[in-house]
Chains A and B, each alone.
Chain A
């Protein structure tokens, strides 16, 4: 157990639908990062939050959004889902000035 909790572990949904992925960071970590991992694109950085505020954006589609709540958990919202959104979505957390990440075990999203 890495200390980063992601739910659900698996999600199957239809095209056009909307889903929410949840992440609880390791205790004491203020930063949360979201990554998408697929066979053809590898590990792609989506977005980072630090203590409730958006800090950095990567290759995140406009159909995707995220937020970090006062208790530091984060949610990634994926809407108007397409087949190509099928992937593993990872959340990672880190403490200030410690740039190594602790990853959760991921959410496997399958869009049918």
Chain B
């Protein structure tokens, strides 16, 4: 069964600084990997996804993520954070099983942005 770990419960960065959110997964084969963002009072929005191919994936809102098989990681990055990026970020891993496609979400990392 797949699992996903987000080691950081919360992170604070200054506006304009770079950001990296960590995500580690556990799965026997190459998984489907996702990052979602949740603003307060909202549902989750898909930022980017990785299925195969280029290990550096570009997403919406200026985010990117890099798949590193050797480290079982899929970290999310942004070169310059804006105050509007303050939200909760969820890494997710999906895999096809006997019951169809299942997606497991990490516990989330809450991002605080200070002026």
Which residues on A are within 8 Å of B, measured CB to CB?
Answer: 2, 4, 33, 35, 42-43, 45, 48, 50, 55-58, 90, 92, 99-106
Query: Are the CB atoms of B44 and A99 closer together than 8 Å?
Result: no
* Residues of chain B at interface, number, CB under 8 A: 24
CA separation between A104 and B38, bound complex, in Å?
11
Query: Are the CB atoms of B94 and A43 closer together than 8 Å?
Result: no
Query: Are the CB atoms of B42 and A101 closer together than 8 Å?
Result: no
Query: Does B104 belong to the interface (CB within 8 Å)?
Result: yes
Query: Are the CB atoms of A45 and B43 closer together than 8 Å?
Result: no
CA separation between A35 and B92, bound complex, in Å?
13
Query: Are the CB atoms of A99 and B43 closer together than 8 Å?
Result: no
Query: Are the CB atoms of B102 and A45 closer together than 8 Å?
Result: yes
Taking CB atoms, residues of chain A closer than 8 Å to B49 are 99-100
Query: Are the CB atoms of A101 and B46 closer together than 8 Å?
Result: yes
Nearest Cβ on chain A to B54's Cβ, whole angstroms: 17
Taking CB atoms, residues of chain A closer than 8 Å to B102 are 45, 48, 56, 58
Nearest Cβ on chain B to A51's Cβ, whole angstroms: 12
Query: Are the CB atoms of B90 and A43 closer together than 8 Å?
Result: yes
Enumerate the 6 nearest inter-chain pairs by beta-carbon distance, A residue then B residue, closest first.
A103-B43, A56-B99, A55-B100, A43-B105, A103-B44, A100-B46
Query: Are the CB atoms of B99 and A99 closer together than 8 Å?
Result: no
Nearest Cβ on chain B to A93's Cβ, whole angstroms: 11
Query: Are the CB atoms of A99 and B45 closer together than 8 Å?
Result: no
CB contacts under 8 Å to A, within B81-106, are 90, 94, 97, 99-106
8 extra interface residue pairs, beta carbon distance < 8 Å, beyond A2-B43, A42-B108, A56-B97: A45-B103, A45-B104, A56-B100, A56-B101, A90-B43, A100-B46, A101-B46, A105-B41
